[in-house]
Structure 1
Amino acid sequence: MSDQHPASGHILVVEDEPAISDIVSTALRYQGHTVTAADTGTVALDLAMTIDFDMIVLDIMLPGLDGLEVCRRLRDSGRFAPVLFLTARDEQDDRIKGFVVGGDDYLTKPFSVDELVLRVAAILRRAPDGQPTEALVVDDLVLDPAGMEVRRGGTAIELSRTEFRLLHYLMTNAGIVVSKTQILLNVWEYDYAGGANVVELYIGYLRRKVDDGREPLIHTKRGAGYVLRRPQA
């Protein structure tokens, strides 16, 4: 593998606008990726249920089965290829829905092809290969990097790949306040305008899964960032 394409993969591009699909597919192939294209949610779901893609670039607004439902069904079936959503809408509710069903990132149309390529590269680098395999423990929260499993009080918690990486980063730095910029650079592996909003959304949903109905472990330090620490007596 050449240095120009350090993290290539097999990517499913799901977009019903032929011009956008062609541009995205061509740009990704130029970066050394193998690309399979689909123009409907139904076709995309069938492909993703039979082929182990390294990631999926998924338009939300699709005829018939929309991108959110495609992602939801994939996650429900136990398929967790990372998903980069494409959306023509820039409303927070739409972004939140994408994260709720297990999306890993999003781009709002119109977008820069260069930025899309960088996002794809960053997502592909997020695979857990090479991470330490020792379990991380904070209070009754246990994260197993090798098994990609999280439990709190013995109860399993289902996380997306990016949620898992975010929790792993917070637990690795337990007791230390980390800024939004640090989180972006270490979890998303890039920094960009508006990125702080992504961090806030993911922290919010991670809290709902990890802290819901329990003593909070994830805390906000206003103006500084976030810290994961055991409950104080």
Structure 2
Amino acid sequence: MTNEWAAAAPEILWVEDDRQTVAYVIGSGHLAHIAITVAEDGKRGRALALAGGWDCIILDRRLPGGDGLAILADLRAMGMLVPVLILTTMDGIQDRVTGLRRGADDYLVKPFSIRELSARLDVLMRRLRPPSQAMRLIFADIEVDLVARQAYRAGKKLFIQDQELKLLEYFMRHPNIVLSHEMLLQAVWDIDFPIRTNLLESNVSRLRDRLGRDAPSLIHTVRGQGYMLRVQ
């Protein structure tokens, strides 16, 4: 089960084999308004990209199993018009020109500013996603109304505090992914330095209570790594 966006919230495919870069970007919170699916090699990236349904695709150039431009060529050969951003270390002028001429809509070189990446993605998708539209998140039987700032489980309204709701929202934007303590602290509480605290653990415990201890558990502890939102 994956998360579902009503009112057309953005779904992005990121084909990137550098796990550290992915974790850093997602953990920054700057792309928290976007649902991101990550593919770590060219073969899986190509399959997911050609399956369609994406609002934008981020492609690395140097990938296990091929060059991101090969995936881009397949997309354009099939007439797919999804916006594509090349994100790569290949910073030569000719590299940029080649990427854009082969069908990329934008080209960003590593290392990069996360704020700039977020802004570029928003520009690419702006014509597709009117910002005034209401949004909601759905995962399994949980629903979060992002406008009313209210959560429901199995249609029943949950009495939930603001920080718990922010934590739930972050989980629902990144389902089936192990989220480290550091990522969650930074994204929800803007804590980006080492700190000894049970802040996260206590909020996760309360959130589990809000969701119902007698209901099927969805927030799972991954020992030594963090937490994951998934169906049991």
Larger RCO, structures 1/2 (Cα 8 Å, 6+ apart): 2
TM-score, structure 2 normalization: 0.49
> Which structure has the bigger radius of gyration?
2
TM-score, structure 1 normalization: 0.49
